[in-house]
Structure formats: structure tokens, C-alpha cells
Chain A
């Protein structure tokens, strides 16, 4: 199989793995890392398609994704730090006061 197909397959697998990681882990930091995994998988897919099409648009898109991921990481980590700063055990399941 060609490079491009391979890249796409890898991307699919990493995406699925990342999705499962978000849902399975209770540590918010690891959840965030799994989200980054998913973003990376998408980047890979974009690069692969860009290679097959021969234009640079995919690359530019990837740059945008990268930028946004960076901004999101900043804010997200800031929120996590704010939420879990004073606790001993950080566990996303501890914040469930908004239940019905």
C-alpha cells in the first residue's frame, strides 16, 4: 500500500485510541493528552490528503490546527490547574455537583 493510505490508517487508529482515552481516564491531564492525540491524528490525515492532492492547503490547515491546539492547551491547563490546585487526588469524577 502507498504511503498515503498507510498514513490514513494510522490516523484512524490513533483517533480511536485517543477517543477511548478521553473517556476512560480519570486524570484530567491524561484526558487532555488524549485530546491532543486526536488532534494529531487529524493532522496526519490532513497531511496525507494534501500529499495525494499535491497542494499545500492541507499544510496550511494543519498550521491552523496547531495554533488552536496550542491556545487550547494553555486555557485548558489553566482551568485544570485552577480546579485541582488544592486537592490531593485529582480525579475528574470529583466534579459532579451539577447532577440531576
Chain B
């Protein structure tokens, strides 16, 4: 049962990724991205990362994607087609190298995990089960406190940048 669900979600993820890239209309691409985000979130859940599932949905699908949609509708673009690209060498090189990249990565993974597959090891952590909010929270605020604080700095910088970019002259 679980395998079927997994396969389904996987197909959905790949398909929506292809949709993002291939759809001519930008709004459709955004919708496809939303679908991709949702399927990835589900994959997170299936991989026992409960907090990340929620975080992905809230942050990515709920904030970033919405921002994308705002901008897309603001700029109101017309559609474009990949296959009417004038720069043919670019197209050919991209497709070939991209496929090569994908093949390399997939092949590498398959070859590495030929003999033994990595599996999920459930730990009976004292701080809650794996992937739960408690476990995540404790790691975040003790071992990784510094990176956490620094990301707040990153967000501050982005905020300032946004204000500066949005100013009218």
C-alpha cells in the first residue's frame, strides 16, 4: 500500500516539475509549481518529517508561491514557447547536458545503493520521536542556535532590500 502511494506521489512530483518547465503560460507554471510543492510536502510526510511537511506548506506554498503569483499577474506576460527559441545551440546543449546530469545523478544513486539500501531507522529519542516538533525544536535551539540567529539576519537584509527596491524615485 505504502509503495503505491509513494509511486503515485513521485509521478505527481516529476510530472508537475515538467509542467512548470514546459507550460507556456506563466500562471500555469505557477500552478504546476504549487502542485509540485504539495507533492513534495507529502513526500516529506512519508519520510517521517512531520514538521518539515508543515513548514513547507506554510512557507513555500503559502508565502513564496503567493508572491510569485502576485508578480506574475502584475507583469501580465504573454506566453512563450520553448520550441520557438531562436538560439538553437543553447537549446540543444541545454537538453543534452541536462539529460546527462539527470542520468548521472540517478545512475550514481542506483549504483551506490545497489547492495544495501538506506532505510529509515526509527529512534526512540528521549526528546520525542523522529521528525516531531519537539525533536526538531530541541535541535534547532541548542545545537543550531547560531545558524538560526543568523537566518534572522538574512531575513532582515532581505527586508531592507525589498524596501529599497520598492522605492519610487
A/B contact in complex, CB under 8 angstroms: yes
A interface, CB within 8 angstroms of B? 1-10, 12-21, 23-27, 29-30, 32-34, 36-37, 40, 43-44, 47-57, 59-60, 62-64, 66-75, 77-82, 84-85, 89-91, 93
What are 16 A-to-B residue pairs whose CB atoms are below 8 Å? A4-B119, A8-B113, A14-B17, A16-B102, A17-B18, A17-B98, A33-B29, A33-B30, A37-B20, A40-B36, A59-B131, A62-B55, A77-B68, A89-B78, A90-B75, A90-B77
If over half of B's interface residues share one DSSP class (helix, strand or loop), that class is named, otherwise mixed; here it is helix
Q: Residues of B contacting A67 with CB < 8 Å?
A: 151, 154-155
Give a binary string over B120-134; 1 marks a CB under 8 Å from any A CB, 0 the rest. Answer: 111100000011000
The complex places the Cα of A10 from the Cα of B16 at a distance, in Å, of 12
Interface magnitude class on chain B: 35 or more
What is the distance, in angstroms, from A14's C-beta to the closest C-beta of chain B?
5
Smallest beta-carbon distance B129→chain A, Å: 11
| CB within 8 Å of A: which B140-169 residues | 140, 143-144, 147, 151, 154-155, 157-159, 161-162, 165-166
Minimum distance in angstroms from B27 CB to a CB of chain A: 10
Q: How far is the CB of B62 from chain A (nearest CB, A)?
A: 11
Bound CA–CA A78/B161 (angstroms):
9
Residues of B13-31 whose CB lies within 8 A of A: 13-14, 17-18, 20-21, 26, 29-30
